[in-house]
Structure 1
């Protein structure tokens, strides 16, 4: 058997695996309709952990304070900031009786560890139902808390939300960041829908305090600087305790990074936790990313050598059509339709970046959350 023929058969196998992933895992979420569940409003503790976020807090806290929700407190956690973050928090607290401030002092043992700061914030909260977001996030509506909390029930103790990034005109980096965000959401929502929840995003996440303490908090991975959202959810989620919330009103919107360097550092921290996921999640996610990379490598190689190019083009087209359907339905749901036509190009850039990040993390690990 010749090398080109071996490559071609490998290419067919890779395309087949990709199609199975998109059709079995992701297409089912793509066509799932968002359901609005507005129930009796349970008391909520909203926790925001901030490190050097004075300006973002000044700008974004007013949008949180006007939430149309009957009973919620805001726990602001100052994680050893050296700007005016603590002063801004105290100013808001003096004017709003539902704001509580937790000031985390510098600790040699836990320096640079967001999980320690979050743990103190959770302990200071007074309600059992917790919602988490970041200082640079803005709720997409005044009903954000109502939509998230409406998914809690006797069976559902975790609610996964969607954290979008603001659109910037004429910015390829912005499109790449938003494409990666949609692809990540497509996967964690799809897996959760199939009872295989493996992560959530701290920009828009909710769970019960009881779940946190029954798991001994972040103790099992406290030494890992990242993972306060995905590693914790990977530990405590099961096939029946997780709800999905992706109504437009339930989104949060963050300011994206403005440089490739800053975004790459952020992605390095996020990707560094994947090796600690449960084995079944690592295998499923690893196979998907590996076949994504091999798809492009084999497709380009076969087109260059011209081996049965018409069949190669046919398989490429088939895979792109199925990807466009799965990604397109999800992008429409998450209000990211401008990304659909660019999906193949953005995917190629993203895979190349992820490969470079993987190699960089093998050489050195990112140390701090900020």
Structure 2
């Protein structure tokens, strides 16, 4: 039977071709990345961590931050209404370690979301222009983290340094899905960054100038929006000529993944719900790319059920999986993330179905507060 007589296969092949083009663009964006920041930023850096009842995590994180091999930095921990002994721990650390500073929050004004308020107070307390952000449940991969993430600021035109953060491996389907989701998100924002559109970043590994924050009135009109303290701020103010992408084994940050499905879903809903505040062009790009990816699987299933050219369908699908795997290997190689994730290409359809459910929940769910 001739290919032209097989409409289900032709549609699948056409959609797969579009998906392949996206994957090829993504791969070459990653493969051609070079970390050119070989000079060391000589001025001070302020590390800011906002935490609420994160005593156990801070006991692990703060010593790692203190050990950073950088000559001039301070650590500002914004204690947001903690109730677990975190306050006493931070007071004690501030007495022992001159680099550690402690900002306490007992009340959050109604006009601003708690996380954004905590960040705002941390920024105002910082004594340096370059601010480096991470979360309490994060761990820098090396003692050179501050040095690597601050290096782009040698160039006075740079206002943002966008890093990469992955989650620790702990086994199980949930952890696998979280890590795969993180990698897929990174593929999107790293690719678009390389193409000149730094549309988002993750607050687990992000640096920007205090002057940019203050000049733009902090979070401005976004201060009442739940979430988006990292990606919405970057989406609004980062541009091709004022931002830098920092990838590498020594600039990588690992995070402790959620332990239950409900925690992960709540976190993902919060992240997805801020997407409606992106620039219109970013929403169009992401929706078109996402639609092509979903349609590839829909047409694949349709072609299989129709019995259209099974061998040809298998070859085309295998080709897209190879391209997807190449992207996975590329981002892991460039970022220094060494845990093999080839298995993600097999679970991709399951992940996308779950993503669709969570996205629907994000669109229709009520507000979810930060902790």
TM-score interval, smaller chain: over 0.9
CA deviation map 1:138-171 (0-9, x unaligned): 11111110011111112211000111211124x2
TM value normalised by structure 2: 0.93
Q: Contact 2:141/2:251 (CA < 8 Å) preserved in 1?
A: yes
The 10-residue stretch of structure 1 (11-20 or 290-299) with the greater mean CA deviation from structure 2? 11-20
Which residue of structure 2 lines up, in the alignment, with residue 276 of structure 1? 277
CA distance in 1, matches of 2:19, 2:66: 44
CA deviation map 1:22-61 (0-9, x unaligned): 1224432134244452414221011100011011111211
CA distance in 1, matches of 2:150, 2:363: 39
Within 5 Å, give how 1:99-118 maps onto structure 2.
99-107=100-108, 109=110, 113-118=114-119
The 10-residue stretch of structure 1 (334-343 or 90-99) with the greater mean CA deviation from structure 2? 334-343
CA deviation map 1:231-268 (0-9, x unaligned): 00000011111111111111111111112221111111
Which residue of structure 2 lines up, in the alignment, with residue 160 of structure 1? 162
CA distance in 1, matches of 2:283, 2:112: 29
CA distance in 2, matches of 1:105, 1:29: 44
CA distance in 1, matches of 2:308, 2:355: 29
TM value normalised by structure 1: 0.94
CA distance in 1, matches of 2:339, 2:160: 31
CA distance in 1, matches of 2:272, 2:229: 13
Which residue of structure 2 lines up, in the alignment, with residue 334 of structure 1? 335
Q: Contact 1:18/1:319 (CA < 8 Å) preserved in 2?
A: yes
Q: CA RMSD in A?
A: 1.8
Residue-pair matches, total: 366
The 10-residue stretch of structure 1 (99-108 or 354-363) with the greater mean CA deviation from structure 2? 99-108
CA distance in 2, matches of 1:223, 1:232: 13
CA distance in 2, matches of 1:111, 1:160: 25
Which residue of structure 2 lines up, in the alignment, with residue 144 of structure 1? 145
Segments of 4+ in structure 1 off by > 6 A? Answer: none
Which residue of structure 2 lines up, in the alignment, with residue 351 of structure 1? 352
The 10-residue stretch of structure 1 (171-180 or 349-358) with the greater mean CA deviation from structure 2? 171-180
CA distance in 1, matches of 2:41, 2:117: 32
1:323 Cα offset (Å):
1.6
Q: Which runs of 5+ in 1 are unaligned?
A: none
CA distance in 2, matches of 1:107, 1:241: 32
CA deviation map 1:333-353 (0-9, x unaligned): 334455443122232122111
